[in-house]
């Protein structure tokens, strides 16, 4: 028999609050798992001028996002809820479309990645605002992740930016 929720959460939070916050984090876990897959997909499929710069820029982003996945999953477990990293659940529960490109030009991939980052950051910020008053530890985790994600998006946007 498997169990999704433990009989505990972190001290001072309350079991119902712990489960609610972990539920919000499950969406973030799915989004981050999807992002790490998308980043590797683009890494393998980007072509054209500036290929190598983008190809090499994406590996450190992937490594960092993989760390975020682990951080979110471990926070969920600490809150008393079993995190799901199952692909079937990710696909059935996600609220965004699958990444649309395969082999494509640098600019096309970066425009799509910019959209991916925008959606992910906006959703991270929404969850951050919901948990901030109740759980400053989770809020702090999300703040740190948002900071890094915004910087990664800036890297992407800087490749696309044109000076007129």
- Residue 52 belongs to domain with CATH number: 1.20.1260.10
Cα separation, 124 vs 142, in Å, equals 7
Structural domain count of the chain: 1
Taking the CA of residue 25 as centre, how many other CA atoms within 13 Å lie in the half-sphere pointing to its CB? Answer: 33
In a domain, 5, yes or no: no
* 3-state SS assignment for residue 101: coil
- Within a domain: residue 3? no
Range of the domain at 72: 15-160
Q: In this structure, is residue 53 part of a structural domain? A: yes
Q: Is residue 132 part of a domain?
A: yes
Low-confidence ranges of the chain (pLDDT < 50): none
2 domain residue, yes or no: no
Yes or no: say if 29 and 85 are a contact pair by the CB < 8 Å rule: yes
Q: Does residue 7 belong to any structural domain of this protein?
A: no
CA-CA-CA-CA torsion sign (22, 78, 8, 92): positive
- In this prediction, residue 116 carries a pLDDT of 98
Per-residue confidence (pLDDT) for residue 164, from 0 to 100:
81
Q: Which of 38, 52, 58, 60 is nearest to 156 (CA)?
A: 58
CB 124 within 8 A of CB 145: yes
Convert the pLDDT of each residue in 79-97 to its tens digit: 999 999 999 999 999 999 9
């Amino acid at each position: 028999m498997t169990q999704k929720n433990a009989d505990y959460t972190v001290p001072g939070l309350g079991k119902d609050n712990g489960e609610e916050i972990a539920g919000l984090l499950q969406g973030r876990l799915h989004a981050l798992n999807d992002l790490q897959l998308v980043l590797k997909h683009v890494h393998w499929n980007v072509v054209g001028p500036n290929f190598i710069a983008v190809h090499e820029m994406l590996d450190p982003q992937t490594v960092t996002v993989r760390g975020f996945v682990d951080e979110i999953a471990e926070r969920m477990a600490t809150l008393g809820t079993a995190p799901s990293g199952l692909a079937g659940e990710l696909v059935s529960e996600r609220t965004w479309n699958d990444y649309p490109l395969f082999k494509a030009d640098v600019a096309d991939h970066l425009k799509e990645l910019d959209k991916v980052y925008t959606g992910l950051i906006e959703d991270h910020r929404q969850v951050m605002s919901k948990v901030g008053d109740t759980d400053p530890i989770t809020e702090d985790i999300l703040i740190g992740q948002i900071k890094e994600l915004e910087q990664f998006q800036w890297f992407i946007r800087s490749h696309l930016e044109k000076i007129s």
